[in-house]
Amino acid sequence: MSKNPGKSRQFISKRNIVRGLIGLFSILMLIFIINSPLLKIGYVKVTGNSYLPREDVLQIARIKEPLNIFSVQTDVIQDYLQNDLRIDTAKVWRDFPNCLNIEITERLPVAVMNCNYGYVNLDKNSVVIDIYTDAKKIQKPVITGMVLQDVYIGDSINDDTVKKILVYLGLLNNEVLSQIRQVNIADKEHIELYTVKGTKIILGNLEDVEKIAEKTQEIFKDMSTTTIPVEYIDLSYSRPVLKIKQ
């Protein structure tokens, strides 16, 4: 006895409809789960940043809070961060159920210089790592006596005196660096440094950068333990020369 082909086709059609409905229901459920508030990342934790504000790190990472756990691609975020010149290394990972961790190592600026359209932050390797126009953002010693022209983020400064100054500042510890307000390079053979308290320190021509940096750290250590008013300190000699204020 032969099967009824009409009934067979009707059965297959109903089965396909059921499968289609199940598939549609699964897609709708997946969309609901992906957009569920339960899967929102409640907090993005940023560590390792001392120069870059948390908001800037999130902007570099192209993150807008709150995030959805399924929309986070940690490798993509990590690439965004590591492609920014202000960041040396970055690591991104999830802490379930609702935290995204970002750990960075910064390329820290050691000095600021004027350029023809604002200010640039420079690292110890003479690389421009940031450009801005607001003087309130200046956090590091300012190198005066020269104005840079048409420089951009990622550019390297080729002036030999500027290079020496940046290497010198990079050798100083953070405590000493924070006490320096300005380095004047108008006279390349007679470079002068000014502290936040107004004391002048003569660096000379910085032929021996490491030795001058070592002397500088010693001088700042001595100044922190004395109340004698100092007019200037000359480090260009084999032994520091001090002039006391009258």
What is the pLDDT, as a whole number, of residue 36? Answer: 57
* Domain boundaries along the sequence of the chain: 1-34, 39-106, 111-244
* pLDDT higher than 60, residue 2: no
Selected residue with higher pLDDT from 73 and 17:
73
E strand or H helix at 12: helix 5-34
Residue 92: CB atoms within 10 Å: 23
What is the pLDDT, as a whole number, of residue 61? Answer: 94
* pLDDT higher than 70, residue 106: yes
Contact 12, 4 (CB under 8 A): no
Give the right CATH number for 111-244 from 3.40.1010.10, 3.40.50.2000, 3.10.50.40, 3.40.50.10960: 3.40.50.10960
What is the pLDDT, as a whole number, of residue 94? Answer: 86
What is the pLDDT, as a whole number, of residue 131? Answer: 93
Cα distance from N-terminal residue to C-terminal residue, the chain: 125
* Burial of 190 (C-beta count, 10 Å sphere; 0-12/13-18/19+): middle
pLDDT-based confidence at residue 240 (cuts at 50, 70, 90):
confident
What is the pLDDT, as a whole number, of residue 176? Answer: 95
Pairwise CA distance, residues 159 & 145, whole Å:
12
Average pLDDT over residues 109-137: 94
Average pLDDT, the chain: 86
Selected residue with higher pLDDT from 113 and 70:
113
Average pLDDT over residues 110-134: 94
Selected residue with higher pLDDT from 242 and 87:
87
- Of 201, 180, 185, give the one whose Cα is nearest residue 148: 185
* pLDDT higher than 90, residue 22: no
Tokens of 18: 């059921």
What is the pLDDT, as a whole number, of residue 39? Answer: 54
* pLDDT higher than 90, residue 55: yes
pLDDT-based confidence at residue 104 (cuts at 50, 70, 90):
very high
Beta bridge partners of 44: 100
* pLDDT higher than 90, residue 27: no
pLDDT tens digit string along 160-193?
999 999 999 999 999 999 999 999 999 999 999 9
Q: In what order do the strands lie in the sheet with 230-234?
A: 128-132, 118-122, 111-115, 142-148, 180-184, 191-195, 200-204, 230-234, 241-244
Supply the pTM of this predicted model: 0.71
With a CB cutoff of 8 Å and minimum separation 6, the contacts of 17 are none
3-state secondary structure of 176: helix
- On whether the 39-106 domain is CATH 3.10.20.310, my answer is yes
